[in-house]
Amino acid sequence: MTARRRAVLAVAALLLVPGCGTSFADTVAAEARASADAGRGVPPGDPAEGDCAERAAPDPDRPRVGLDFRLDDDLRTVTGTETVVFTADRATVELVFRLVPNAPGAAAEGNRLTVDAVRGEDVAGSGYEDGQADGPGGLYVIRLERELEAGDETQVALDFTLLLGSGGFERVGTAEGVSWWASGAPLLAREPGVGWARDPFVGILGETATSPVADTHIRVSAPAALTVLMTGDQDEPSAVRDGRRTWTATEPVARDVSVAVGEFATATTTTPGGVRVTTGVLPDAGMPADGLADWTVEAIGDLAERFGAFPYRTLTVPLLPDRGGGIEYPSSILLAGADQLVLLHEVAHMWFYGMVGDSQFRDPWLDEAFASYAESVGFPPGDVAQQLALPGDVGAAMDQFSESGQYFEQVYGKGAAALLTARDAAGPRAFDAAVRCYVDANAWTIATPDDVARALADLPAALDVLVDAGALRPEDLPG
Ligand SMILES: [Zn+2]
């Protein structure tokens, strides 16, 4: 996400590498099932240097999640049912969900997510855990009757109620003519191969979740006059029935979901690479939907040239009232205020967070420093040396910041400066090729700092910069 802030940094267009990724045509039909699962083409071959393999496919044993939402006529109550089919990657006796809307301060804004009922053959019981969040708690744990061994599958269903507040720009909320909820259902908090992510919530502005990619199906029932823009490949809405329409979407590899429902005027366009972009603006937005679509297409093109093919088939961008910022979700962005730089930052998160996931609590720089760095494909740089000289470690976890400003400076500002400086130190061509290999090797996983170090192993000058900035620790380095 970004709070209201100006450009951190960028780098001159003259540093763009000629010949690196001149095409990102959608070649999905010719690719293996795995790539087809991911739903889009492979990255343009011919990285300038290095010999990374093709983009990794998502885990075939990834969870399957169904989300059925109903926005009440009051436009501030969402009821729903979530079904989860979970295949254990290692032994476990429970399922842990994160209740993101209950983050600290949520109650004051009127947000609240409660679990009303849980079903499933293996369910023994369930309850909230505090997680340093507001009531009723930040985590919800389902205890199982039996221990799942690696490879065992279980299925559960959770009924939930979400109240949307109106206190500010949050992941869930309401305003005149629009309601939105992202991370609005219990979020499976699993780091595959590691375990459940029970990280506490924090008081500063920023994400703290860790979630695996899942095959995701979404259904939204909403008053007929409103339009839905959400994560995933949306079908046409149903016919009106009882004053409502039902909207559905599928996304084969989403680690979370965003839904916006409002009086949107929309524009749809397709990028040269085949990504369908749909934007939506509210009445009196002061920004036409097609102008927002043009910005989005431009951002996708610039970023794909640097980082490889756009990760999703579709991208939706609902423009919310101007409260200064944006929040990224897989194949959907909540944009609060028409700002081209913020939009570029959030589109960059489709690679860094959406596709290459991270523990947003433990390693927030893996998405925020990289997305801030990626702003450089479209905007001129700030004072890189000054940003790099800021105190603190780029690689700090979310519980190591006392206030949001420090977090933004250290992770976004200094983090982007460190990556720009590392690029200069290693040479743009070699660095870009290595980052693209990092992206492709870690697609659809939850990456860690040692994955970055491994990708840059042949670029010691870049590694030195990242160690000096506290992004990488010496023990992250290969060999
Ligand atoms: Zn961000």
The CA-atom distances, in angstroms, between 395 and each of 243, 369, 407 are 50, 9, 11
Q: What is the mean pLDDT of the chain?
A: 90
Q: Residue 479 has what pLDDT?
A: 75
Ligand 1 center to 345 CA (angstroms): 6
Ligand 1 center to 435 CA (angstroms): 18
Band (3; pLDDT cuts 50, 70, 90) = low
Can you say how many angstroms the Cα of residue 424 is from the centroid of all Cα atoms in its chain?
28
Q: Where are the domains of the chain?
A: 13-18+44-55+357-476
Q: Residue 323 has what pLDDT?
A: 81
Q: Rounded to an integer, what distance in angstroms lies between the CA atom of residue 296 and that of residue 268?
A: 11
Band (11; pLDDT cuts 50, 70, 90) = very low
The CA-atom distances, in angstroms, between 247 and each of 75, 150, 181, 255, 347 are 16, 35, 15, 20, 24
Q: Rounded to an integer, what distance in angstroms lies between the CA atom of residue 62 and that of residue 360?
A: 20
Opening angle at CA 292, ends 286 and 296, nearest 5: 160
Name which residue leads in pLDDT, 250 or 26: 250
Ligand 1 center to 346 CA (angstroms): 6
Give the model confidence (pLDDT) of 324-335 as tens digits: 799 999 999 999
Which residues have beta carbons under 5 A from ligand 1 (an ion)?
Answer: 1, 368, 371
Residue type, 456: L
Beta strands across the sheet bearing 227-230: 172-175, 178-182, 258-262, 227-230
Q: Residue 99 has what pLDDT?
A: 98
Pick the CATH number of 13-18+44-55+357-476 from 1.10.390, 1.10.10, 1.10.3470, 3.30.450: 1.10.390
Residue type, 93: V
Opening angle at CA 328, ends 326 and 334, nearest 5: 50
Asked whether the predicted pLDDT for residue 34 surpasses 70, the reply is no
Contact 452/419 with Cβ under 8 angstroms? no
Average pLDDT for residues 290-301, to the nearest whole number? 98
Asked whether the predicted pLDDT for residue 276 surpasses 50, the reply is yes
3-class DSSP state for residue 421? helix
Nearest to 119 by CA among 155, 147, 85, 75: 155
H/E segment holding residue 250: strand 244-254
Average pLDDT for residues 307-332, to the nearest whole number? 95
Ligand 1 center to 317 CA (angstroms): 15
Ligand 1 center to 328 CA (angstroms): 7
Q: What are the φ/ψ torsions at residue 186 (nearest 5 degrees)?
A: -55, 125
The CA-atom distances, in angstroms, between 413 and each of 122, 148, 161, 335, 386 are 47, 43, 38, 21, 10
Average pLDDT for residues 360-389, to the nearest whole number? 96
Residue type, 393: D
Token reading at 423: 């690029």
Ligand 1 center to 207 CA (angstroms): 9
Name which residue leads in pLDDT, 294 or 26: 294
Q: Rounded to an integer, what distance in angstroms lies between the CA atom of residue 452 and that of residue 462?
A: 11
Pairing of strands 314-320, 325-329: unpaired
Give the model confidence (pLDDT) of 192-201 as tens digits: 999 999 999 9
